[in-house]
Amino acid sequence: MTGNLVDIPLEYYLVLSGILFACGVAGFLIKRNLITIFMSIELMLNGVNLSFVAFATYWKALSGQVFVFFVMVVAAAEAAVGLAIIIAVFRTRETLNPDRVNLLKL
Amino acid sequence: MVHLVLFIIFGVICVAGAVNLLVQRHPIDSALSLVVVMGALAGLYLLLGAEFLAAIQVIVYAGAVMVLFVFTIMLLNAGMEERTRGSKVALMFGAPGLVIGSVLLAWILLQSKPSVRPVGVGSLYGSARTIGHLLFKDFLLPFEITSVLILIAIMGAVVLARRESQ
């Protein structure tokens, strides 16, 4: 699998990754639904993963891809726990709007 | 050339899905656009030669995690997102912060030298075999700790989502 070098500059991947991350941050800030906010966090993780894989190919270091593997595993665990927390919040507050979840104690 | 075209196609799909996630007001529409983003990212990983990661991306992310999201949305019967008025403080600090951040980012991008060499497609080949070798040799301890983490996450999810019974 050597040769066949194709001219995709590293910056293209980094800019795309930055756009995805920025969309995630914007969603995290402007969305008014706990589940969508959580999805924005996943979007940010995906943006970072893309730059990891691009750098792994750029530096020819496979450990970058292994790191992405670990990020995915932790994201999956985080999604399970986070959604369970959202379910628990919804049971007690009956709302998914984070503006109405403003009391520590009911 | 064909790789550049593929990159542009997948990149446009990615950005369109991400923007659609922001625009849609029903969570299920946002979830489906996130699936689109993840599928396109899997294509990009394939383009970078990370075939194992592309498979994992589709199976774990677009499959398992997003099914979890969709199940939660349906379980909670989440409706349209409510519109609330943004806070004044956020507008006061957010708008200048956005301008400063973009200017800073553009300046850094303009200052930086272009990368020494393009990302060579096929120069690195992340097959399941090589990744597996690396995982079970160099990264054995993190890999085992990850299994403990997942066990704890399972128990945490069960405990948190359980209905309280008096």
Mean pLDDT of A64-90: 93
Q: What is the pLDDT of residues B120-137, one digit of tens each?
A: 666 677 788 889 999 999
Domain holding B14, by residue range, is 1-79+121-128
Give per-residue pLDDT as tens, B19-39: 999 999 999 999 999 999 999
Chain B residue numbers with beta carbons less than 8 Å from the beta carbon of A101 are: none
- At residue B104, φ and ψ (nearest 5 deg) are -60, -45
Domain count, chain B: 1
- The pLDDT, as a whole number, for residue B164 is 74
Helix (H) or strand (E) holding A49: helix A34-59
Flag whether residue A94 sits within 8 Å of chain B, measured between CB atoms. Answer: no
pLDDT tens string B137-152: 999 999 999 999 999 9
CA atoms within 13 A on the CB side of A26: 14
Ordered by where they begin, the domains of chain A are 10-99 (1.10.287.3510)
Which residues from B are below 8 Å from A36, CB to CB? 21, 27, 30, 81
Q: Does the pLDDT value for residue A83 go beyond 80?
A: yes
Q: Is residue B161 part of a domain?
A: no
Residue B99 lies in a domain: no
Are the Cβ atoms of B18 and A23 closer than 8 angstroms?
Answer: yes
Q: Name residue, tokens 């190919």.
A: A57
Model pLDDT for residues B94-127, shown as the tens digit of each residue: 888 888 988 898 888 778 776 666 666 666 777 8
Radius of gyration for chain B, computed over Cα atoms and rounded to the nearest angstrom: 21
- Mean pLDDT (chain B) is 87
The end-to-end CA distance of chain B, in Å, is 66
Q: Does some domain include residue B17?
A: yes
- Here the CATH number for the domain that contains residue B18 is 1.20.120.1200
- Please say if the pLDDT value at position A4 is more than 50: no
- Answer whether residue B106 is part of any domain: no
Note whether A50 contacts B27, CB cutoff 8 Å. Answer: no
| Interchain contact, B37 vs A20, CB within 8 Å | yes
Instruction: Say if B110 falls within a structural domain.
Output: no
Is B103 part of a structural domain of the chain? Answer: no
Distance CA A73, CA A38 (A): 16
The predicted model scores a pTM of 0.87
pLDDT of residue A2 exceeding 50, the answer is: no
Residue A99 has pLDDT above 70, yes or no: yes
Please tell me the predicted confidence (pLDDT) of residue A1: 36
| Contact across the interface for A83 and B22, Cβ inside 8 Å | no
The long-range contacts involving B74-78, CB below 8 angstroms and separated by at least 24 positions, are B74/B28, B75/A87, B76/A35, B76/A86, B76/A87, B76/A90, B76/A96, B78/A33, B78/A35, B78/A96, B78/B26, B78/B27, B78/B28
Within-domain flag for B102? no
Q: Would residue B164 count as lying in a domain?
A: no
